Amino acid sequence: MPDSIHLKIKRQNGSRDLPRWEEFKVPYKPNMNVLSVLMEIRKNPVNVNGEKTTPVVWDCSCLEEVCGACTMVINGNVRQACSALIDKLPQPITLQPLSKFPVVRDLKVDRAVLFEHLKKVKAWVNIDGTFDLGPGPRVPERERRWMYEISRCMTCGCCYEACPNFNSRSKFIGPAPLAQVLRFNKHPIGAMTQEERMETIMGEGGITDCGNAQNCIEACPKKIPLTTAIAQLNRDTTIHGIRSWFRK
């Protein structure tokens, strides 16, 4: 067993600041994850050269891989820090913030764009009314299973990070919101407004900006069938496009 854990962390004071690498050695304890190592650094913020430094900033919430807040690039791969177990990682362990979102500080990024995209595609069902609308329609079991698969998305940003077509040059809406379009189009109430969602993803930065690199499904920690959802939406938008074209 190693007596210490060697970390290389990419640090940055803000989105306009230049990043720098800082190394740390943390005493080894069994069953640690990346977050508990970061907590040790917070207790004693001294780098590998013995210099006192600022504690490393990161984001976390649930600590059980369901919220997505602690998503970062660990040893070159995008994943959640809470489920990254030290005993399973080769050292030195490199930690980098997500590269596709603005850095708030160190490993903490601002993923607001993800939520903006969810709003853009109207990833919800309209149930508000001025009177009691009564119980909703029943959902076929097969559809419910599909919706459940997609509903496990925690908007962590792994698919965005791995996608070659989501970057500063393109306006691509990204894989996760596309899957949510399918999820809410499948819902019996959501289906009532499916054409609105479809028109949105047929616009700028929409579904056709997907280049089928299929990195999203590989990177997704929840193994959400993103590529199948995108292919299904390709079929749906093509049919919708042809229909509405001939209706004009």
Partner 1 sequence: MGLITGNFLERKIHSLTGIIPIGVFLLEHLITNSFALKGPEYYNQKIEAFQQIPFLVPIEILLIAIPLAFHTILGLYYVYLSKNNVLQYKYFRNYMFYLQRITAIITFLFVLYHAYTARIARAAAGIEISYEFMNGILSQPLFFIIYLVGLLAAVFHFSNGIYTFAISWGITLGPRSQKILQNVCTALFFIMSGVGTIELIALAG
Would you tell me which residues interact with partner 1 (CB under 8 A)?
Answer: 76-77, 162, 164-165, 167, 169-172, 202-215, 218-219, 225, 227-228, 230-239, 241
Distance CA 9, CA 31 (A): 21
Nearer Cβ to partner 1, position 36 or 75? 75
CB of residue 168 to partner 1, shortest distance in Å: 8
Closer residue to partner 1 (CB): 88 or 169: 169
Are the C-beta atoms of residues 197 and 184 closer than 8 Å to each other? yes
Minimum Å gap between C-beta 6 and partner 1 is 21
CB of 171 to partner 1, least distance (A): 5
Compare residues 41 and 174 and give the one whose CB is closer to partner 1.
174
Between 47 and 94, whose beta carbon lies closer to partner 1?
94
Q: Residue 200 Cβ, how far from partner 1 at the closest point, in Å?
A: 11
